[in-house]
Amino acid sequence: MLSFLQALVTNDVQVLHPGQGVYAAYLTPQGRMLADLKIHHCGEYLLAEVQDGLASELADRFDGLIFTEDVRVSDVSSSTAQIAVIGEKAAALLAHAFALEPLQPEQFTTLPVLGHIEIAGAIIARTDDADLPAFEVFVEDEAYHTTVQRLEEMGAVEGSTELLEALRIEAGRPAFGLDMTNGTIPLEAGLLERAISTTKGCYVGQEIIVRVLHRGGGRVAKRLVKLRFDPSVETPPAAGSALFHGAREIGRITSAAVSPLQERVIALGYVHREQAEPGVQVSLAPDTGGHQAEIVGLAG
């Protein structure tokens, strides 16, 4: 099970023990992304989170790579529900909702990123998808409504899709299908530290990654950055909107939202590596005379 995925994805899954998890990418032989995965070791099986709509295709692809390994790959997206719980009181709320006795929210807060515990028929994993405490709850599909009801009784408030998107962008976490596509090299998206092991054995696409890291010094043509817009910009720019540095087009927006925390429009976008530095001013049109956004950091 572990050795099968070890030969396919970019991160080291062989070192995982039950209750642990890791973030990884699955690449083409040319080093381009086919998917990103959060892999959870659940004892007798591995649970992998992938972008909506990719599970079936990825399961079929992995299934076709099984030769002599004693491995079975299944798409369980139709039978498994996933609930995000985010906020300063998330751990305490989960401890109450799942009757953790004695009440010890620190059992959640001290989990490593993508570490999880199994309790009351649920898998509860800590994530780093937001700058606030964040957890994912996995339950069987038929338990979804009762689980949501239990969380709401403990004080949880349903968040909008727009809010979740804003929290993701604010944290600088790229989403496959938006900020990453099958033409993306993971180093461009800033995934080196989170998703790529530089010490494990071979995996699909490794040759390209090693070539960039060792022969190219890790330099890629563009980098995914976090942007914060001036207060005068009230509407998030559309994905694909061009970014300019003076008269020169240097990149494009991939996703944008209004941050309720900053009360600003924020975005992720790719810019040329020479401009991918915090403090660089950019605009949505050439030679505007005034800069409309600032690069506030690298994404990944």
Residue with tokens 């990884």: 24
Contacts for 118 with CB less than 8 Å, ≥ 6 apart: 42, 124
**Is the confidence at residue 288, as pLDDT, over 70?**
no
Contacts for 203 with CB less than 8 Å, ≥ 6 apart: 6, 7, 8, 9, 10, 27
**Model confidence pLDDT, tens digit, residues 209-245:** 999 998 777 789 999 999 999 999 999 999 999 999 9
Helix, strand and coil percent figures for the chain, each rounded to 5: 20, 30, 50
The answer to whether the Cα torsion of 12, 7, 172, 93 is positive or negative is negative
Are 258 and 176 found together in one domain?
no
Q: Using pLDDT thresholds of 50, 70 and 90, give the confidence band for residue 289.
A: low
Facing residues of 83 across strands?
Answer: 137
**Model confidence pLDDT, tens digit, residues 261-283:** 899 999 999 999 999 999 999 99
Are 135 and 243 found together in one domain?
no
Are 207 and 252 found together in one domain?
no
Are 199 and 240 found together in one domain?
no
Domain count, the chain: 2
Phi, psi of 98 (to 5 degrees): -105, 20
Are 75 and 109 found together in one domain?
yes
| Domain span holding position 278 | 221-298
Are 227 and 215 found together in one domain?
no
